[in-house]
Structure 1
Amino acid sequence: MAVTEIWLVRHGESTANVAAARAHAAGADVIEVDHRDADVPLSPLGEEQSRALGAELAERGVDDVPVVLWVSPYRRAQQTISIALEAGGLTEPPRRVDERLRDRELGVLDRLTRSGSANLHPDEEQRRQWLGKYYHRPAGGESWVDVMLRLRTLFADVDRIQDADRLVIAAHDAVVMLAMAVCLDLDEPELMAFAEDHTVANASLTRLRRDTLGGPWTLEEFSGTGHLDEDPDAAVTNTKAGRTTPVSEPIPVTPNLLRGWALPEVGGSKYGRGQVLVVGGAAKTPGAAMLSATAALRVGGGRLTLAVAESVALHVAVALPESGVQPLPEDDGGHVAVGAIQGLADDLGSADAVLVGPGLDEPDGSRDLVAGLASAVGDETVVVLDAFALGVAADLVDELAPLRGRLVMTPNSGEAERLLGRDSSDDHTDAAEIAERYGAVVSLGGVVAAPDGRSWAKGTGAGGLGTSGSGDVLSGAITGLLARGADVAQATVWATQVHAAAGDRLAVQVGPMGYLASELLGEIPRVLVEFGA
């Protein structure tokens, strides 16, 4: 008898996982936890995930053959397997607690977010970028190679097991990923390519198999979470393009969350507060671009330029004297014409944040604008797509790819359906899928989703916001905050909440319905003060 199967279990969601998600969402440097890493317990959701895992282990007949159990000494891993065995009605096999299965040690980077690592230990961050995750060993911590070395000694012991066919290991995401790498003999490029597209979900199951003692291992399942999908009380997971990504409920946005996620300090000049370019405004719809442009100023954006159809450019310049105006060529119908982007090279190249879409009303000219953005804007320019620009973006995924990580999209439900190529489901699911597909932060119906899986839900707002021009105000507010230096997620979350809170103020003053989008503009600075900006 020899071990021919290894079942690797990652622990359920822990209280530290929850704290880390909140810290990342708030842009904090430090993850606030109440325990040292070895003593971190499961969250209530993690306990429920463990029960769902236990039912799955029982259904799969984990104990149909002789089994041994090896477990990390860390509390969350111990809890996960104990709850799972009890929930599945399984007899506990011989348990061995092995310190080689502990989580990866992070040393000086322990309890820090990525931004915290960069801000508090910039030298370590530079070393990480130079060496890569595989070899980077933070001071007092371990590299992936270090973890693999201790796992190699552990797997040497596996071949000495003579009284079991199956080994169950309960440990951590790094242990699961690197144990698989050791068994499959993956080198650095192979492992990093795999890790780029795969994550180890909480309470997931990974299975390896070999035919004989000493034979090669094969991967039969990686990060399986079907048991969580079937349990309404356990976390949901999405699988897209070979990637398994845990999806949790959106974090509610509150004034306290925003105060703890402070916007960057503004500069003393208009250039110090960022340069904004709004591109839109066909001959019949210049008002949409003007609403967006004014909103960008109301949130503190600096130098503003409006690019609108040439027949209305003079009128816009008079109506909005705070803005420079760039006339765009138009066709006989007053639509912004194909080739208009050629006259915007200087403005696009110098802008800190560019908004395209408000007031555009024809597909050919809009498609030409959106398709040329990535090659025309600066290397660090952030782009926001709204309105008609989103209607053509579904056909321009490749052209927009260079903007991944510095792109914001603000679709309504109809535009979301076009971007997805299917009927809408719920705002959270749709926003998350669009975010992943385009590498964009997405604001959809009060939910904000980032491509890394984070999401937020606005904590206020009512039906009165569903009025003409309201979306133009939102996209302009996002653009202004981006120009001020906020990152894409922060700007979108802040603007979405400020936009909603401005609507609440007008609902009291005017009524729950009937206030105008232009009236939102005057409330924005007051709401920002209330939120501590």
Structure 2
Amino acid sequence: MSHSTEIVIVRHGEAACNVAGIVGGDKGCTGLTETGRAQAEQLAKRLASEHAIRPYNNLYATPRRRVVETARIVANTLNLPETVETELRGPDHGEADGRPWTEIKTAFGGPPQHNPDQPYAPGSESWNGYLTRAIAALETILRRHGGQRILVVAHGETIEAAHNLLLDLPIDACRRFGYVTDHTAITRWYRQVNRFGQATWLLAAHNDTTHLPGTPR
């Protein structure tokens, strides 16, 4: 059997909006903290060691500032050009952008995933609206780069979208469970083709942060 395609999705480093509990859209995201930059550098070193053995063919990033800053550190270390994919951006927050998440969730009656068909603020996407967009963008990337090794620097929500796509989950699965995804965590999927030509997506890693100091190995 062989791994015909691999997609590795990593979450961005710690951002100022994460620490402050602020909705981090285009307005609310002011970039990485010092801790976040250090996390991105540790992530880049780990990915570079992999890249030296089996090179990544492509590097994609989302346009939010915290992701762009993380991706730039990774791209410079791997000497790999990055492509910013607008359709992979995090949810569009509308009037929630820049406001405290506690305020938004209190007004909405919970996180966006628990009422996934409804916008959680004026002008925002619904959770399912975001999922539909992100899944379509991931499908496009996978079709474009079949048989290659793809690296995506993105959001925790992007990882949720990838799991929905590759696990073929129902759209309302988010009402029942979620995922822990830490800053700069690595998620790894392989498309395995066996000797009979049958293809299966395999989840090889989720929330892997062993590159960060203090993480058990």
* TM-score above 0.5, yes or no: yes
Amino acid at match of 1:222: H
Aligned-residue offset at 1:98:
0.7
Partner residue of 1:112? 99
Q: Name the structure with the higher helix share.
A: 1
Q: Could you tell me which of 20, 27, 30 is aligned with 1:36?
A: 27
Cα distance, 1:218 vs. partner? 2.1
Please state how far the C-alpha of 1:178 moved relative to its aligned partner.
1.6
- Considering only aligned residues, what root-mean-square deviation do their CA atoms show, in Å? 3.2
The answer for the alignment partner of 1:58 in structure 2 is 48
CA drift at 1:147: 1.7
Q: How does 1:29-428 map to 2 (within 5 A)?
A: 31=22, 36-37=27-28, 40-61=30-51, 64-86=54-76, 89-92=77-80, 94-117=81-104, 122=107, 125-126=108-109, 132-138=114-120, 139-162=122-145, 165-188=148-171, 190-195=173-178, 198-212=179-193, 215-228=199-212, 231=213
Amino acid of the residue matched to residue 132 of structure 1? H
- Tell me, yes or no, if the aligned pair for 1:144 and 1:178 is still in contact at 8 Å: no
Q: What one-letter code is carried by the residue in structure 1 that aligns with 2:33?
A: S
Which residue of 1 is the match for residue 13 of structure 2?
A: 12
Contact 2:59–2:151 under 8 Å retained in 1: yes
Native 8 Å contact 2:88 2:138 kept in 1? no
* Aligned residues of 2:114 and 2:175 also touching (Cα < 8 A): no
Taking a change above 3 Å as real, the CA distance of residues 60 and 182 of structure 1, as seen in their structure-2 partners, is: same
Given that 1:65 and 1:165 are in contact with CA atoms closer than 8 Å, whether structure 2 keeps it comes out as no
- Percent identity, please: 26
**How far off its partner does 1:155 sit?**
2.8
TM-score (norm: length of structure 2): 0.81
Q: What residue identity is the alignment partner of 2:141?
A: V
CA contact (8 A) 2:188 2:203 kept: yes
Report the count of equivalent residues.
210
Shift of 1:136: 3.0
What is the CA-CA distance between 1:163 and the residue it aligns to? 7.7
1:52 and 1:16 map into 2 onto residues whose CA distance is 21
In structure 2, give the amino acid aligned to 1:98: E
Shift of 1:149: 1.1
Contact 1:151 1:182 in 2 (8 A): no
Contact 2:23 2:93 in 1 (8 A): no
Whole-Å separation in 1 of the counterparts to 2:145 and 2:101: 44
Q: State the alpha-carbon separation in 1 of the partners of residues 17 and 126 from structure 2.
A: 21
Following superposition, the deviation at residue 189 of structure 1 comes to 5.5
Question: Is this contact kept in 2: 1:66–1:164, CA < 8 A?
Answer: no
TM-score, normalising length: structure 1: 0.36
